[in-house]
């Protein structure tokens, strides 16, 4: 028997817990913040990746050096690395997923706090919810899957499986009206 207490609120208007909130056909899944030191390191290295090639260009030109194509390549390469690290750091700090249910259409959007991904809308009929186990077995975490086969949206927010089971049961009742 599982004696763990799940912090879940059922109300007339919706459902919420520390990692998700469902109201007015909008499901918000929130990531848990990772520890402070790894997040700080990711932010630091992402900003260093943006600044280092620019400083190199400025110092070289100010000391009489010539501009060459290597500067553009390094700015582009380090810019991509910096953007990726910034995206991961923001996801681990402010990340959330917003899923809106409307008839047979499901709209998905990842929110990174400082910017959002493009909205993705899929027609999913019938509206099926399932759970995919992720991570280590002893963590007992999973992700929500909406739909099946080709018309499927797989969320990335890891939530304890027992909480997901309650969420899936609630979504089956309230989204298939």
Kindly report, residue by residue over 104-157, the tens digit of the pLDDT.
888 999 988 888 888 888 888 788 888 998 888 888 889 999 888 888 888 888
Of the listed ranges 41-50, 80-89, 92-101, 114-123, the one predicted with least confidence: 114-123
User: What pLDDT was estimated at residue 61?
Assistant: 87
% of residues, the chain, pLDDT over 70: 90
CA distances from 161 to 127, 132, 147 (A): 20, 9, 18
User: What pLDDT was estimated at residue 73?
Assistant: 92
**Mean pLDDT over all residues of the chain?**
84
């Amino acid at each position: 028997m599982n004696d763990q207490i799940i912090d879940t609120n059922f109300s007339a208007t919706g459902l919420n817990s520390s990692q998700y909130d469902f109201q007015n056909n909008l499901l918000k899944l929130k990531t848990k913040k990772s520890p402070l030191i790894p997040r700080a390191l990711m932010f630091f290295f992402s900003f260093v990746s943006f600044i280092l090639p620019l400083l190199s260009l400025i110092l070289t030109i100010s000391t009489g050096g010539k501009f060459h194509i290597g500067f553009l390549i390094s700015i582009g390469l380090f810019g991509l690395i910096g953007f990726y690290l910034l995206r991961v750091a923001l996801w681990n700090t402010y990340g959330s997923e917003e899923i809106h249910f409307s008839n047979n259409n499901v709209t998905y959007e990842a929110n990174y706090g400082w910017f959002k991904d493009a909205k993705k809308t899929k027609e999913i009929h019938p509206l099926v919810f399932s759970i995919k186990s992720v991570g280590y077995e002893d963590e007992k975490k999973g992700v929500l899957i909406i739909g099946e086969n080709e018309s499927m949206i797989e969320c990335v927010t890891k939530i304890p499986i027992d909480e997901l089971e309650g969420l899936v049961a609630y979504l089956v009742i309230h989204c298939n009206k």
